Structure 1
């Protein structure tokens, strides 16, 4: 489990990028099926759903970034990673789905996405799920358009776990099927000056369902989001909780990630968070968001990987500990894990 001291480690002391992530030893909690989750740094999470009749376990990766900088290297190198990626891309397990929340560089790292695609095989191709307007970014770097599916807010796709092609009309006729739903959040988008808010940003719901349509496991990925509006909390999160909750696992941002500018490189950050509240949840907001979506276990993300100082890296965790009611292992709890750490979250149906 990550502690304040873990986040203060220098990169050289962080986990070595030389191991393959192996979920075979992480398949249950006290004999019950669980969801395996590995924090890859920033907003990146690798998730394995409980194996229930699958030929192979299903692996989903959210917002992966293995780059050293959160900016395009040919434009501005920006703040360098404070915590290195826990492994190289070639040591990841086979990735069945890549889910992207929006097109900001620190969430949609096209070099990483292309490298993941190149590892896939014809009999098990990687599929990419993105919000409206983001497909063009992936196709431009060589990912086949046929393997990139765009969804609008509240759109869902049921995906048979044994199939190798998308089918929006797929029926839940297998032992367990996957349903992805693109859900609202409160952020923005853009990869340059002229495309600001030109594509959609989103959170995501992932449900593993049985033949009778009952959830076997449920996951919520908040992406990058604020929680507050000018008139109070954003109501979308309660709506998500009412429609799809409770969630066995929620992955929720607790910081803006870093100052991500030359100010961050010299150790400065903005003291006033008020104007950022609508696009980036504070640790206190993240706890409220988790309650709204009815999360049973919540893991923190979007902190410490890029940070202008040790203080900026550790402050989100200190504030999270003060705001939460319990650690992530407890029912309704919220906590953090170390970069590269794999944990097992019990599913409610077990």
Structure 2
């Protein structure tokens, strides 16, 4: 019998863990939490100065007209929908229709199923209603945390899709039950383990193409309650578009929610992803923690450092290194500002990202941020593989 993968903790695929040593042990994290509010390392927040042309993130009305333009059809279109939600359209091949993918969409007002948790109300509104989105072909989920797996949004996406363009859902192991519980058909959901992939063929009267989804590692956790912690897998995702003859068209990387550091240095999975699948025309990478600690910002405080979150949440500086590891040509920031306890907390990730990067997202190898609702076009290049 073959041994279990390092991230599997049992044979029933119902318990998982990061296979790399964490920056801090669980006991250290617990000790930090039980000392709240006096023992957690936080300090009085100092206002962050806006650098150069940097402007605070805002929500603008989404306009998807660029998706139908010549430039949009020949490149990759991307729209930030807030938090980790991105809509991506792949290049149109010959006379085939463009393929559209939604990553971790959340249109909810709260990042959890109830509003009793202080600080979790959405700070920046969604840029459109769900019904205003273009038709989508695939919805990709990174893990089952409420701020990444918003079931109200997912069932609304399924309900509105047309019979001739039914949406498919791709999720990591053990996340399927979360979707079927709200009425999404089992037949439309595919679960994948790390390094597994699936290929979908896009027919065309002249030249067909393939869309290959690969579930790839990241450093995080999962759970929607006290009893199911790490009971389902978390993942990043690679999407490759190829011609029917195998020629590469483009490659996209979605990091999901992830940390970058381990007790022994950078997590090696990201360089492995870059070596196997890079370069990526577009990478979407988180630069901040989730909404859980936003109450600190509301109180006028911030964490003194990122050490105790480094295993599960990338800092802006880590995100820049991660982008380099996966060999991203253009990187867009996510997982910040949508939920934040103060204007300073929403601005801090942007300031730190600008200090750490070498170029904006439109530059080759650059990393930057766009407004919620903003649509951009990333040109693709012909590559040899």
Q: TM-score, normalized by length of structure 2?
A: 0.82
Q: Distance in 2 between matches of 1:143 and 1:27?
A: 34
How many Å apart are 1:315 and its aligned residue? 0.7
Give the SS at the match of 2:86: strand
How many Å apart are 1:269 and its aligned residue? 3.5
Q: Distance in 2 between matches of 1:27 and 1:211?
A: 22
Give the SS at the match of 2:55: helix
What does the per-residue CA deviation read over 1:191-232, in whole Å, with 9 as the maximum and x for residues that have no partner?
A: 000000000000000000012212101100000000000000
Map residues 220-299 of structure 1 onto 2, 5 A cutoff: 220-260=253-293, 262-299=295-332
Q: Which runs of 4+ in 1 moved over 6 A?
A: none
RMSD: 2.1
Q: Does 1:15 align with 2:65?
A: no
Map residues 105-124 of structure 1 onto 2, 5 A cutoff: 105-124=146-165
How many Å apart are 1:81 and its aligned residue? 1.0
How many Å apart are 1:162 and its aligned residue? 4.0
Q: Distance in 2 between matches of 1:232 and 1:293?
A: 16
Counterpart of 2:36? none
Paired residues of 2:85 and 2:103 also in contact (CA < 8 A): yes
Counterpart of 1:170? none
How many Å apart are 1:48 and its aligned residue? 0.4
Counterpart of 1:94? 135
Counterpart of 1:169? none
Map residues 45-56 of structure 1 onto 2, 5 A cutoff: 45-56=86-97
Counterpart of 2:199? 158
Worse-superposed segment, 108-117 or 173-182: 173-182
Q: Does 1:214 align with 2:247?
A: yes
How many Å apart are 1:54 and its aligned residue? 4.9
Give unpaired runs (5+ residues) of structure 1.
164-172
- Call closer, same or farther: CA 1:318–1:261 in 2, change over 3 Å: closer
Counterpart of 2:181? 140
How many Å apart are 1:56 and its aligned residue? 2.1
Paired residues of 2:282 and 2:330 also in contact (CA < 8 A): yes
Q: Distance in 2 between matches of 1:51 and 1:178?
A: 12
Counterpart of 1:5? 55
What does the per-residue CA deviation read over 1:252-311, in whole Å, with 9 as the maximum and x for residues that have no partner?
A: 001113344544444444323101001000000000000000000000000100001111
Worse-superposed segment, 50-59 or 247-256: 50-59
Of the three residues 61, 64, 84, the one matched with 1:43 is 84
- Call closer, same or farther: CA 1:260–1:72 in 2, change over 3 Å: farther
Paired residues of 2:286 and 2:335 also in contact (CA < 8 A): yes
